[in-house]
Structure 1
């Protein structure tokens, strides 16, 4: 894992990061954005779930529905970092921008918002909501002359909805099939699908070494492939330290660790060694060994998924900005960026 190699996704402009809740997909998305923002490149980190997770991770004020410079990226070998920008996408602002860019409504569009038309449209037709969210994402990747003065990004990273909803979210053309068979929204959704199904997009999945997240990752890959959406890599997050040798783990699982040796080691260390303390240590060792066996079995299943995999450690101090840069460096070292 420590050997640096060439990036695995040189053609990708849109990195979609999804995963089961609790696996750390937002953290991985942020670290990936930092890793990609190198050698002077501009990277946009987006979120669409309304949780202001980017602001919390980077300890900044809540993001408006506009692109903002967030921080510098991971320095390259020559010391030149890029820049990470951030965008909190909400359907109302996305629709107002869509109306302004394509229909020149301007104030009329804002008037619709005051009358509640936007909320009505996105509530009565949920597929429209996803078209608006992904439409803003598409516009950030495919900047054109309509958006004068906008930054052109070398890569866009999306902190996406969870695995169970990612196909519905990205497969907007299919979601609109029964709602809009013709017209500008249908045309826009079809155009977006050309990007989402192209080699310039990769959907990365985040998991941890537990049965349910790994199974959901496997199911997610199958669902993405079934609708021809491009599967990227799998990031195995929150890896625990692996300090014990295989023989020691086997002894711990079988309960054959030498009690006298544990007692002697506690004595040498100047620690109490009552029977209850030794029993507690042996139980902890058995639990740890069983957990490691489960993780090893799940790691084998992840390897069998047939996609590039990357591993990130569990950080005992939690994830702050410094930790995000550490994780970014690890992703780049492993070839994800």
Structure 2
């Protein structure tokens, strides 16, 4: 595994935070990006923090434990590992590392101290979750990066700003000690060139609007913006600047093709053509709105029948197209 080379020229960050409105396919995109960045014999880490086990469902494997384990390989010997970060286990790890509580720390689970600790320090849970991601991103083995890149399947767009900024809030609340150091270290990573926050969207009005709102929020928080990833995109079915087709044209076309041209058939086809033209006009407008946001945009194809392992490979290929000749 070659983890010491440069990061990918099209995806130069080492920590890729993938978010988007619920239902846009952000987990699928995060998984495809992890596969894409593993190509060439590299190792990447795919992380989830919401306890949904979305990665396990996508790859059709058993629920992920709180440990990094291989879940996929690429045809050129790259490897994707995955980790589901559990806040309780992260807190125990934190207590053991900084306070050497050992078995006493593990006993805290039995008396509910985990919930107590994260209640009295509201931002601590997210600091610990992102802290685990930071550790993996910056970890070295034998003088080289353990991972070429870490891809975080983050909370949805409506919550991601608060999630990523909570480390800065906690750093202000904790004046001294390991919590302050942990928070400051995480906040520094999240605002450095090592990180990029990518937004997944669809050509639908609500996801596009939420993408615009989230970009503004992240910019206000001084978090590094990455790419807009347009998921499930497809080429227009009708040529550009299409004029509405008339019923007379439909009738003539059906007749020329030797197909039924009765009034009911013509009426139904006319309604379908009108609706399709309206959908494509909307899609064209939404594409212009996304382009006006001023961020690099990558389009992923629609995968009929849902995404399986082969579909993930197709999405990974679309995320890293080969360089242009010359």
Task: Give the equivalent residue in structure 2 for 1:182.
Answer: 176
Task: Give the equivalent residue in structure 2 for 1:43.
Answer: 44
Distance 2:247 2:322 in 1: 41
- For the structure 1 residues 271 and 65, does the alpha-carbon distance in structure 2 shift closer, same or farther, using more than 3 Å as the test? farther
Task: Give the equivalent residue in structure 1 for 2:280.
Answer: 292
Distance 2:177 2:23 in 1: 39
Is 2:314 the counterpart of 1:326? yes
**Unpaired stretches in structure 2, ≥5 consecutive residues:** 1-7
Alignment map for 1:176-255 (pairs within 5 Å): 176=170, 179-247=173-241, 249-251=242-244
Is 2:25 the counterpart of 1:24? yes
Distance 2:104 2:17 in 1: 33
Cα deviations by residue, 1:289-324 (Å, 9 ceiling, x for unpaired): 111111111111111111110011222221111101
Structure 1 counterpart SS, 2:226: strand
2:11 to 9, 25, 31: 9
- For the structure 1 residues 272 and 125, does the alpha-carbon distance in structure 2 shift closer, same or farther, using more than 3 Å as the test? farther
- Structure scoring higher RCO (CA < 8 A, sep ≥ 6) equals 1
Distance 2:77 2:252 in 1: 53
Distance 2:171 2:193 in 1: 24
**Unpaired stretches in structure 1, ≥5 consecutive residues:** 1-5, 252-256
Task: Give the equivalent residue in structure 1 for 2:267.
Answer: 279
Residue 265 of structure 1: CA displacement? 4.1
Structure 1 counterpart SS, 2:198: strand
1:157 to 133, 146, 151: 151
Is 2:122 the counterpart of 1:121? no
Deviates more, 1:272-281 or 1:55-64: 272-281
Deviates more, 1:102-111 or 1:325-334: 102-111
Distance 1:103 1:268 in 2: 83
Cα deviations by residue, 1:156-185 (Å, 9 ceiling, x for unpaired): 000001112112111133332564232211
Task: Give the equivalent residue in structure 2 for 1:98.
Answer: 94
The TM-score normalised by the length of structure 1 is 0.87
CA contact 2:140–2:146 (8 Å) conserved in 1? no
The TM-score normalised by the length of structure 2 is 0.90
2:135 to 139, 164, 172: 139
Task: Give the equivalent residue in structure 1 for 2:5.
Answer: none
Distance 2:231 2:24 in 1: 7
